[in-house]
Structure 1
Amino acid sequence: PTKKTTPKRRVCNTTPKVTQQNGSLCSAFTLSLLVGCAVILLISIIVIIRLNYLWNVARHHFVKQLQR
């Protein structure tokens, strides 16, 4: 009698677990990027408002000079 051979099971190739970085370091980096973008946005808004104010003052001064 012939003996039935059972097929060999494939061994799963498990990839080694990737060690996670320190969570506080990653969140600190993300937080610093977010704060940096917010500061740049705030400074640009302040500059735009100031230039708009100076433009209006100069226009008002110019119109006043023309009325004389």
Structure 2
Amino acid sequence: MSRPELHLTLTELVRALEPEPGTGLHIGEAALAVPLELATATIDGRLVVLGRVPHSRWKAGFLPATSTACIRVVADG
């Protein structure tokens, strides 16, 4: 399973907060604490940070280490 660039993973996490159309819900602010598997790579001669949520919640000695991302999202306007 490949890791996407971190900014793509973070964008998808924030998009997951969008309420379904027609529900009348509005989220003005949210805080997320999300485990992420992070790595760096060189792509086209530039250093990039890769990250995804862990593929498994099982604890075993061979799974990659995770970092916890704490994200605060505030609606604009």
Q: Which has the larger radius of gyration?
A: 1
What is the TM-score when the length of structure 2 is the normalising length? 0.23
Structure (1/2) with the larger helix percentage? 1
Give the number of the structure with larger relative contact order, counting CA–CA contacts within 8 Å between residues 6 or more apart: 2
What is the TM-score when the length of structure 1 is the normalising length? 0.26
Structure (1/2) with the larger strand percentage? 2
